[in-house]
Amino acid sequence: MKPVLKTTFFLSLFCFSFNGYAQLELQKPSIIPQPVSLRLGNDHFLINNETVLELAGNQKELKPAADFFISYIKGISDYTLAIKKAKTNVITLKKVNNPLLGEEGYTLLVNSNGIQIAANGRAGIVYGMQSIFQTLPQIQTNAALQIPGMEITDYPRFKWRGMHLDVSRHFFSPDMVKEYIDLMASYKINTFHWHLVDDQGWRIEIKKYPKLTDVGAWRVDQNKRVWSSRPLAKPGEPATYGGYYTQKQIKDIIEYAAIRNVTIVPEIEMPGHVASAIAAYPQLSCSQHPQLPLTGGDYGPVAANYCAGNEEVYAFLEDVLTEVLALFPSKYIHIGGDEVNKTAWKNCPKCQSRIKTSGLKDEHELQSYFITRMEKFLIGKQRRMIGWDEILEGGLAPEATVMSWRGEAGGIEAAKMKHQVIMTPSNPVYFDQYQAGPEGEPMAIGGFNSLKEVYDYEPVPEEMTAKDAKYLLGAQANVWTEYIVTKSHLEYMVLPRMLALGEVLWSPAVRKNWVDFSDRLKYHFNGFDQKGYHYSPGNYTVAIKPLISQGKLSAELLVEATKGDIFYTLNGDQPSTASLKYTGPISIDSTATLKAMYALDGALMGLVPAKQSFVFDLATAKKVNYVHPQAKIYSADGPNSLTDGIRGTTSLQKYWHGFDGKDLIATIDLGQQATIGTAALGCLQNYDEWVILPQWVKFEASTDGVNFKELKTVNHTIPIDQKYTLLHDFKAVFKPVTTRYVRVTAKVLDALPKGHSGAGLPAWIFADEIILTK
């Protein structure tokens, strides 16, 4: 039995008054990305069993598109559409010659008589279909297949509209890869960057080197442990986790993508991030020591680079690429090039000899030599090479395309050098980072790229001249999967951010509108619900932001979604739609726990309520002056973070003021005389991140802000090399004094100890709050 659905998912109904007499009900489609132009008609077209498809133009080109349409309709209904000529009840696919539409644009006309999709080629025809699919039910249904009357003219802003997927850190099945491609295609994203090779797994069958997948694709299963703290594999332990794609499966996926206008760009990472290849063929590394496939993020002594001085490596890579090129028709081939730790090259006689004989300056130039050599091979096969922005270091290969991920600087520099560029800055288009919370969100690698940040992303940097911008092909989001193990988690990380990216890359900048996008998004969420896809409701998560103004503390509640209301409580209770409704900053004048949730059409949205506790004391909301300012990248919620009533968490980003190698010297002006008997400074220690508790903390008082008298100095006995993150309050109790100013001095550790990665260099101080009580 098929479920009977009463609504179509992607349609919103709205009414308008016609000459003051009639109420006409029209259906406004919620298409994402927003088309260049969309005019609503006043009727609709109904697909039924008699509906036919007519191909007007090159049959060979149009037939596969027609088959795609037929199979899609079959997937959501009982209808099997025939291909033939007809006067009515017909969907016409028409090949035209319209320069405005380019290679991927289309026009779409829907009225009660039929549908016409016109385009210069198959890509545009298929995109016209995707716009239609978004107005239809998303799963098998008995509901009418009703498409609103409309007229669309549409074409993309950028040529390269990319999504990346790392299948090395975790392996995703061919079916999941197809689902990913389907999602991309729905939102008119046309390039799938398939990250097939990395340290923790080699995922593509190479017939000449079977051990790459026999050995390199399998590791000891440590999925129950956090990525960064997995033990190295021991000899004899069964390597049961992994997988790879056979060449047959890859061909099938490439075909599947092609009909959806998705080009697959394979990434065969080199010269670093290849511990998996070295596990299979140890002779490819500098040390040539045997090693086992990595289980996670702990590398121990494992080699991760190819030896750049060994001819056998180049021959191996040319063989590998020869098989890759035979599979993938893509003009572009990605060779990685990121994050190469060059220590092994420094200590390798072969690498050093290559530096000498080739007249290279250093290991950066050795990397450039390596990449340039591989580029020459690819150019000889009529392909173009892409690399991450590190390939700029040591000299860019002559025709390389640069993928800028460490911000946009690499891309800007490459465009200046007249090289093609793809923007993929980690902020905001790394979809492995949190999108809200993080409370309530599944564990992610860190960082924060919300839906709205993605939506607001402008791929052409302000610093880029119009002339240089010609080299900008487009942009892409990257999905690294260290923390993404399952299909549902992968869906969650890309939905709905992929939709925002689609609109950034397709729609004209002037057509972007966050409020309108949020509105359209709801219907896509309905579709995901129907299909059982997981997605983040992070855009409904409330963010709580402290505000300090004129010695008073308040809390501002922010949410990315529009049109709903925020409800909150101050006593720790779960908020409901019966709770206080937010109308503006909430005054905080005593210790409180604020919880808030967003509601839309009477229903609470999001995963968990946002929650923030405030401690209220004599210092709260009072002005703080620093001798050395806090580091910009650790400025918490602003200059008054030490008196905002908010305590830090174990996350380095959450509400800590960081001081880089300097003492923290802060003076609080209480505004008037007050009596205090205790003082405390909250601090954090995280050994690996160079954050060490201050040696001691001194509290002093002054009535004039000039002459200070010591109240107490507090020491501690906590060892600095504890492996876990530690929160510690330096608390002083003294005979009560009446004072207006309190000065806090926290002494930094001047030199990190031997064995620490920063040995000899000063530590950081992290502080969250100064607390003064009677």
Q: List the catalytic residues.
A: 198, 273, 339
- Residue 339 binding result from ligand ACM, Zn ion, none, given CB thresholds of 5 to 8 Å by partner type: ligand ACM
Contact flags string 380-419 toward ligand ACM, x per CB under 6 A? --------x----------------x--------------
Residue whose CB is nearest to ligand ACM in the complex, by number: 338
CB-nearer residue toward ligand ACM: 269 or 768? 269
Distance CA 361, CA 354 (A): 11
CB-nearer residue toward ligand ACM: 406 or 728? 406
CB-nearer residue toward Zn ion: 351 or 692? 351
Cite the beta strand spans of 307-425 per DSSP E. Answer: 332-336, 384-388, 401-404, 421-423
Question: CB count, 10 Å around CB of 85?
Answer: 11
Interacting residues of 377 by C-beta distance below 8 A, sequence separation 6+ = 317, 318, 321
Q: How far is the CB of 444 from ligand ACM (least distance, A)?
A: 14
**One of 181, 279, 286, 500 touching Zn ion (CB under 5 A):** 286
Which contacts (CB < 8 Å, 24+ apart) does range 510-514 have? 511/34, 511/35, 511/36, 512/34, 512/455, 513/34, 514/452, 514/455, 514/456, 514/562
Q: How far is the CB of 413 from ligand ACM (least distance, A)?
A: 16
Distance from chain centroid for Cα 689 = 23
CB-nearer residue toward Zn ion: 213 or 367? 367
**DSSP letter assigned to residue 239:** E
Is residue 497 within a helix (H) or strand (E), and if so which, with residue range?
Answer: helix 497-506
Contact flags string 325-344 toward ligand ACM, x per CB under 6 A? -------------xx-----
Q: How far is the CB of 165 from ligand ACM (least distance, A)?
A: 13
Q: Are strands 239-242 and 11-18 parallel, antiparallel or unpaired?
A: unpaired
218 sits near ligand ACM (criterion: CB under 6 A): no
- DSSP per residue over 165-176, as a string? EE-SSS---HHH
Interacting residues of 225 by C-beta distance below 8 A, sequence separation 6+ = 231, 296
- Residue 750 binding result from Zn ion, ligand ACM, none, given CB thresholds of 5 to 8 Å by partner type: none
**One of 232, 348, 396, 444 touching Zn ion (CB under 5 A):** 348
Give the total residue count for the chain: 774
- Residue 312 binding result from ligand ACM, Zn ion, none, given CB thresholds of 5 to 8 Å by partner type: none
346 sits near Zn ion (criterion: CB under 5 A): no
Q: Are strands 552-558 and 543-549 parallel, antiparallel or unpaired?
A: antiparallel
CA-nearest of 28, 13, 32 to 499 is 32
Interacting residues of 534 by C-beta distance below 8 A, sequence separation 6+ = 488, 489, 491, 492, 495, 528
CB-nearer residue toward ligand ACM: 175 or 339? 339
Q: How far is the CB of 449 from ligand ACM (least distance, A)?
A: 13
CA-nearest of 477, 523, 527, 525 to 504 is 477
Q: How far is the CB of 406 from ligand ACM (least distance, A)?
A: 8
CB-nearer residue toward Zn ion: 303 or 666? 303
Q: How far is the CB of 755 from ligand ACM (least distance, A)?
A: 27
Can you give the three-state secondary structure of 643-696, one letter per residue?
A: HCCCCCCCCCCCCCEEEECCCEEEEEEEEEEEEEEEEEEEEEEEHHHCECCCCE
Give me 498's structure tokens: 């992929």
Is residue 122 within a helix (H) or strand (E), and if so which, with residue range?
Answer: helix 122-133
CB-nearer residue toward ligand ACM: 95 or 419? 419
Q: How far is the CB of 404 from ligand ACM (least distance, A)?
A: 10
CA-nearest of 218, 209, 202, 215 to 166 is 202
Instruction: Give the three-class secondary structure for 521.
Output: helix
CB-nearer residue toward Zn ion: 183 or 286? 286
**One of 211, 350, 731, 747 touching Zn ion (CB under 5 A):** 350
CB-nearer residue toward Zn ion: 51 or 367? 367
**One of 351, 392, 596, 618 touching Zn ion (CB under 5 A):** 351
Q: How far is the CB of 271 from Zn ion (least distance, A)?
A: 10
Ramachandran angles phi, psi of 389, nearest 5°? -65, -15
Contact flags string 90-129 toward ligand ACM, x per CB under 6 A? ----------------------------------------
- Residue 149 binding result from Zn ion, ligand ACM, none, given CB thresholds of 5 to 8 Å by partner type: none
Residues 297 to 316 in contact with Zn ion, rule: CB under 5 A: 307, 309
281 sits near ligand ACM (criterion: CB under 6 A): no
- Residue 335 binding result from ligand ACM, Zn ion, none, given CB thresholds of 5 to 8 Å by partner type: none
Cα dihedral 598, 599, 604, 607 in deg (nearest 10):
-30
Q: How far is the CB of 212 from ligand ACM (least distance, A)?
A: 21
Cβ contact 187:265 at 8 Å: no
**Contact residues for Zn ion (CB under 5 A)?**
286, 307, 309, 348, 350-351
**Contact residues for ligand ACM (CB under 6 A)?**
338-339, 388, 405
